[in-house]
Structure 1
């Protein structure tokens, strides 16, 4: 079978290419055939362009979401039982010495109720050391007002997410009351621990989850508020390659949880586990969209079947004459394969060029459409991001072009085979 395919490809000559190209661009008496050819070409172009644009948007969405999450979160987190680590200095020091680990930072995290005036909001309090935190996350780049380094031990300053500050009605310099859920026993009963913090900064990560529910304070202040003494909630690590985080996490977990270790269990989680639902959903949507849009390309490509069937019927006399002058059935088949392949190739290339141009300029096109029609494609509170991102991956473009062209070639096989089976005597009988 493979030998037959090779011999068929080798049989292509200038004659088949010349006639096939001439049939493609010649003005036909039957304008309906030309119309279907044009429709097939446009359909393939639109399908290819749609595939490139949609996959670029999905790639951009995934990349942007990952960047925003890791701007606040970290590649790896090491925690202990009961959400506390007592020997965190040793863990932080030993972790940094590992291959692929760039930096470490301890943190304290706990729930709290924030109050200002009439506004009350629940939030996650994260106690950090600013100098260390800047090495494991890019939150410092998300600061809208103030700086992460403005957090100083003992001054009880707080940095709020922009949406959290808006919901509270708090601004820079305002005094926000932080209520810890762990109460303290007094003669009057259990009283929640309260502490007044001064708003010294606002950040906007672009992620609704963090902007509306995260507040930063100095780790020493968090230790006092939550009575952590010399303990922390965990240690955050940054790697030189975020995609090897699962492997590094497994290695660290294996080393820390040795049977001879008397300090208890350690839990090592990476960013793919902490936000797996986001990325699994995006990946699933990308696969489904690829399948759906490939079917659109397939429908357009198989319109070539109709075009070539009618072209074969229209060219029966020409086929008979060529056969009479010595053209082989393989040559006749090759002529119509060339004709159909050209339709598919031109449509594919037009669609690829158009799709690449749109994908590379989607950051300009989408805002223009949104401003023109006064609409917003992505609501921040639903999709986590408010801009339509795009990340053009050339391997995706190559795959789409190859798939489209292969579908076009497959669509030419049956009508071309039918053309090669035409009997010259019967075709010329009524001419």
Structure 2
């Protein structure tokens, strides 16, 4: 028997030979008397698949969440916000023109901003008003293309307002309705400051897909905004001499001209991550007035830092699922080794080396991990690619709001799969699966064939 079997096994003792694959394949196939071990192996495979799929889906959703927020925030707010110092910001047009000439700057916009109380049909809420002209709104492609009702044509002469659809729902207004805005810092009277109350028609309703902007931002043409917030000054026209104190109102109107002011300017750059270099260029530019700059990383440092920490924590926690599945591979292989002790002894007596026995059980355990990882990869990619339709389906089926926009800022569930992260997840699963096979395979290789066959 030994003479007949020895040559075949000698040929099969090469690393990962056909003989080792054949034996490992037989151990993976279920038999009636090995049904329990087969069930454990199948559950282990499912555990690996669930762990891999969960990691891929969660990391993809978090990538999409971060990317979508970054796109929305930086689509309306510049990479730099430039605030005037030393004197009033009356030269905002010249300043913006100078900023746009700096290499690396895509464009810049100026605006007027203030906080008011907006009141509609019985409902009121605090909002941020931004005054911008049509030329600058066209530069903000995200805002310009978000008009769901009405349009931006003739915006400068409309004397109306643009509000988000969520704010319109809160105030109970629609296109053409009047919205009353109240500013506590109004005209001075002998009895103190009186609130300034004015009404404007709704000419544009936009949908940006981000709760914060759709609920709390209101836009109006820049000149009405300057007039409402009193961001202007009356100065003598060029060449005009000071008037006599007894001058009539008509003479004063003819001699003075109104010069508007802006609150600040937003600067958009080509590379959002090139903050340090662009800050130096802007601050050292001789063609712009003195400005105080705050960049998008400073404004959102806490928020995006929290997102990054959350990503790391979620990856670490969800990796435990794969780790638990790897321990299940260890337990199922140890059970398989105990069950196949007599087979191991026979193989050893026929000439199989310890290394060959180790490779057989390594192949068995790694195959479980590989099939589970492959199934999890396919499942994770499918779910990630259809995250929003699946969320909507589950929400409609169960009647429960999953990822409500009021809490997660976005009106839909974004997903962005990163190939590098997917590779890391797959590599982690395969690596843990292989490491899980080493101890059971080593134990199998240590079996003494004489002791194993003594009671057979």
Fold shared by both chains (TM-score > 0.5): yes
Distance 1:75 1:37 in 2: 53
Aligned with 1:397 (options 406, 418, 422): 422
Comparing 169-178 with 285-294, greater Cα deviation is found at 169-178
Distance 2:190 2:279 in 1: 49
1:183-198 equivalences in 2 (<5 Å)? 183-198=186-201
Could you tell me how far apart the structure 1 residues matched to 2:172 and 2:222 are? 25
Q: 1:10 and 1:152, CA in 2 relative to 1: closer, same or farther beyond 3 A?
A: farther
Relative distance call for 1:176 and 1:35 in structure 2 (3 A) is closer
2:211/2:411 contact within 8 Å kept: no
Query: Partners of 2:330 and 2:444 in 1: how far apart?
Result: 12
Q: SS of the counterpart of 2:185?
A: strand
Aligned to 1:241: 271
Separation (CA, whole Å) in 2 of partners of 1:324 and 1:240: 71
3-state SS of the aligned residue for 2:194?
strand
**Alignment counterpart, residue 285 of structure 1, candidates 298, 310, 320:** 310
User: Is 1:364 the equivalent of 2:389?
Assistant: yes
1:146: which partner in 2?
A: 150
With over 3 angstroms needed to count, the CA separation of the structure-2 counterparts of 1:199 and 1:82, relative to structure 1, is farther
CA 220–279 in structure 1, closer or farther in 2 if over 3 Å, else same = same
Name the CA distance, whole Å, in 1 between partners of 2:67 and 2:198: 39
Q: TM-score, normalised by structure 1?
A: 0.89
CA distance in 1: counterparts of 2:123 and 2:377, whole angstroms: 53
User: How far is 1:105 from its partner?
Assistant: 0.9
Alignment RMSD: 2.6
TM-score by length of 2: 0.84
- In structure 2, the partner of 1:251 is 280
> Which segment drifts farther, 210-219 or 162-171?
162-171
CA distance in 2, matches of 1:138, 1:262: 27
User: What do residues 137-184 of structure 1 show as CA deviations (whole Å, max 9, x unaligned)?
Assistant: 51112212112344214x421112223233333332233333333332
1:319 correspondence with 2:365: no
Residue of structure 1 in register with 2:407 after alignment: 382
8 Å Cα contact 2:187-2:196 kept in structure 1: yes
Correspondence 1:114-193 to 2 at 5 A: 114-116=118-120, 118-153=122-157, 155-193=158-196
Aligned counterpart for 2:67 among listed residues 55, 63, 67: 63
Indicate yes or no: 2:380 matched with 1:355: yes
Q: How many residues align?
A: 417
- In the TM superposition, residue 313 of structure 1 has moved relative to its aligned partner by 1.3
The answer to whether 1:210 aligns with 2:209 is no
SS across alignment from 1:144: strand
Please name the residue that 1:307 is paired with: 332
How many angstroms does 1:113 deviate by? Answer: 2.3
1:136–1:237: 8 Å Cα contact kept in structure 2?
no
Name the residue aligned to 1:343: 368
Shift of 1:425: 1.6
SS of 2:284 mapped into structure 1: helix
Distance 1:417 1:197, change over 3 A: same
2:110·2:264 contact (CA, 8 Å) conserved in 1? yes
Task: Summarize the Cα distance change of 1:171–1:262 in structure 2 as closer, same or farther, 3 Å threshold.
Answer: closer
SS in 1 for 2:322: helix
Secondary structure of the equivalent of 1:164?
Answer: helix
Q: 1:418 aligns with which of 425, 443, 446?
A: 443
SS at match of 2:83: strand
Instruction: Show the counterpart of 1:4.
Output: none
Distance 1:19 1:83 in 2: 85
Aligned equivalents of 1:84, 1:14: Cα separation in 2: 83
- Residue 245 of structure 1, CA deviation: 5.0
Runs of 4+ in 1 over 6 A off after TM superposition: none
Cα offset for 1:220?
Answer: 1.8
Farther off after superposition, 89-98 or 215-224? 89-98
Of 50, 73, 98 in structure 2, the residue corresponding to residue 94 of structure 1 is 98
1:212 aligned counterpart, secondary structure: helix
